Structure formats: C-alpha cells, structure tokens
C-alpha cells in the first residue's frame, strides 16, 4: 500500500472551539509534505491526534491502516515543539532509552550526528541549552527508520545554521518508503525541500498542491502565496 496516512472527515473540538473541521487527507509514502498555517490553524492538533496524544471528536485517521495506537507508534517518529526530554539523563542514556523502546532506532546514526554537531554524549540533558536540547531531540527522531515522520515546527526556534542542518538531515534521510509531514510557519526556508503543500486555515484544508504546481499556477513562491492567503 502506497498510502501511509489516510484521514477521513477528522474533526476535533475543545469545548466550543473547533480546532479541526472535517479534514480529508491522503499522504503517500516517499513524500515530504508541508503542513502550513498560522498559529491556531490546527496543525499541532492534527499531529497530536496522529500520535494518539489527543482523540478525535469525530472522523478518523489511519496510519498504515491502523488507528493511532501501539502499532502506529512503532512506525511513527515524532518531533514535538516542546522539549520532552527528562532532566536527569545523560545524552548517552536517552539514546539507550530510545534504543530500548524503538526497534527501528539506530544508535550509530545518533552518535554520528551528535559528533557532527559537537554535542558531548556524556553531558547531562539538564546542562544543555534549549537550542542544543532541540538538536538532540531532532537527532533522536531522525535516527529512527520510521515510516512516518511528524515534525512539529522543527526549525522554529533554531539559528539559521542549525536550520540548514535540519533541512539537510531531512533530505539525507529521505526514503521512498517513508513520508515526512512537517508543520511550520517559516516557509521560505523550507519550500524547496517540500513535495506537497497543505494550507490549513481555521481547522480546514484550503489548499493541497505540490510546490511546483503552486509556482506554476500562481506565478509566485509558496511563501508569497501563504502571505496572501493568510493576510491579517
């Protein structure tokens, strides 16, 4: 099956607020997809539902044919916006942790990336700066051989050099077998790396095209189109 994620009429409400409103999506393997929208458009809600961190109000999402659960978590690698690492471990210990729980985790890859970013595996997570912690988290996520990568604002709080490294890692890690869904509002940096673009506005999909289709049809970059569509 080439479809890795299928979403039918997915809705999520928090009390009176409708965060997601009837989302229909199909994501194929081998695609790098950008989930774009302003804050509050539902990007994080969607990603959380895919990770079973939230349950839908109605509709469903299936990853590799399964509802979000233990089976999907084995093949989904998630980078949250927040730092979710515990304080007391050393970097080497959190690597061991990931190795223990994820069969598709490669410690060699992780140590390699740590070396390139000059992060000492013996340092305690508590002592690392926020930027470094985010890099460690990214390394952990990308060292997995997952079928679906869900990256929530991966380049948000990072300096430009790190941003380049992150995009480079995404390209390097590319596999025809896996899909990457990237949510961000920093589009110009990332446009060239994306296959498909999904605009999310107030919980609904308002656009679903490839980058080149957009540039062809609209004669402008995705970034420029975004600014138009989401003008305040």
Partner 1 sequence: MPWELKTDRPIYAQLIEQIELKICSGVYPPGSKLPSVRDLAREASVNPNTMQRALAKLEDDGLLYTSRTSGRFVTEDDNMVCQVKNKLAQEQMRDFLEKMKRLGFENKEILNMLKTILEEVEQ
Partner 2 sequence: MLAKLLKYELKATARWFLPLYAALVIFALINRALIQNDPSVLAEAANLWKIAFILSILVYVFLFVGIMVVTFVVVIQRFYKNLLGDEGYLMFTLPVQTWKHIASKLLIAMLWNFSSAVVGFCSIMLLIPARELGELDLMLAEFQKYLGTMGYFSISLLALAALAAGIIQMYTAIALGHLFRKHKLLASFGMYIGLNTVNQMVYMLIIPPFLNTMIPFAEPAFFTSNRLNTLILFFSITLAILAAIYYTVTNIILKRKLNLE
Under the rule (CB under 8 A), what is the footprint of partner 1? Answer: 30-32, 164, 167-168, 171-172, 174, 188, 191-195, 211-212, 215-216, 219-221, 223-224
DSSP 49-93: HHTTSS--SEEEEEETTB-SSHHHHTTEEEE-SS----SS-BHHH
Q: Which residues pair with 12 in a beta bridge?
A: 20
Token readout for 116 is 């390139």
| CA dist list (Å): 217 to 24, 207, 211, 212, 213 | 23, 13, 10, 8, 6
Stretch that binds partner 2, among 82-90, 185-193, 196-204, 222-230 (CB under 8 A): 82-90
Binds 188: which of partner 2, partner 1, none (CB < 5-8 Å by kind): partner 1
Token readout for 117 is 């970013």
Of positions 3, 11, 51, 106, contacts partner 2 by CB under 8 A: 51
Q: What b/e string do you get for 59-79 counting C-beta neighbours within 10 Å, with b at 16 or more?
A: bebbbbeeebeeebbbbbbbb
Nearer to partner 2, 69 or 188 (CB): 69
Stretch that binds partner 2, among 31-39, 66-74, 118-126, 127-135 (CB under 8 A): 66-74
What is the smallest separation between the CB atom of 22 and partner 2, expressed in angstroms? 21
For helices 91-101 and 107-116, angle between their N-to-C axes, nearest 10 degrees: 150
Secondary structure of residue 187 in the 3-state scheme: coil
Nearer to partner 2, 75 or 211 (CB): 75
Nearer to partner 1, 104 or 216 (CB): 216
What is the rounded distance in angstroms from the CA atom of residue 152 to the CA atom of residue 150?
6
Contact status, residue 104 vs residue 75, Cβ threshold 8 Å: yes
Phi, psi of 201 (to 5 degrees): -130, 120
Interface map 99-138 toward partner 2 (x if CB under 8 A): -xxx------------------------------------
Nearer to partner 1, 10 or 182 (CB): 182
What is the rounded distance in angstroms from the CA atom of residue 23 to the CA atom of residue 21?
6
Nearer to partner 1, 60 or 212 (CB): 212
What is the smallest separation between the CB atom of 174 and partner 1, expressed in angstroms? 5
Interface map 3-22 toward partner 2 (x if CB under 8 A): -----------xx-------
Binds 207: which of partner 1, partner 2, none (CB < 5-8 Å by kind): none
């Amino acid at each position: 099956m080439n479809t890795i994620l299928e979403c039918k009429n997915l809705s999520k409400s928090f009390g009176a607020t409708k965060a997601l409103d009837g989302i229909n999506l199909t994501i194929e393997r081998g695609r790098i997809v950008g989930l774009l929208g302003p804050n509050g458009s539902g990007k994080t809600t969607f990603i959380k539902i895919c990770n079973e961190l939230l349950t839908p109000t109605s509709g469903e999402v299936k990853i590799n044919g399964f509802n979000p659960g233990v089976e999907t978590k084995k093949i989904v690698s998630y980078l949250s916006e927040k730092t979710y690492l515990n304080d007391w471990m050393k970097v080497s210990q959190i690597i061991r942790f990931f190795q223990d729980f994820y069969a598709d985790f490669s410690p060699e890859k992780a140590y390699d990336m740590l070396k390139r970013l000059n992060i000492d595996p013996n340092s305690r997570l508590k002592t690392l700066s926020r930027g470094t912690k985010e890099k460690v988290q990214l390394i952990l996520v990308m060292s997995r051989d997952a079928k679906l990568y869900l990256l929530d604002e991966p380049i948000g709080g990072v300096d430009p050099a790190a941003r380049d490294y992150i995009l480079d890692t995404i390209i390097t890690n590319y596999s025809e077998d896996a899909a990457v869904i990237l949510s961000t509002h920093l589009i110009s940096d990332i446009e060239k790396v994306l296959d498909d673009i999904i605009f999310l506005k107030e919980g609904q999909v308002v656009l679903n095209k490839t980058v080149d289709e957009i540039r062809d049809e609209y004669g402008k970059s995705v970034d420029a189109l975004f600014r138009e569509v989401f003008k305040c």
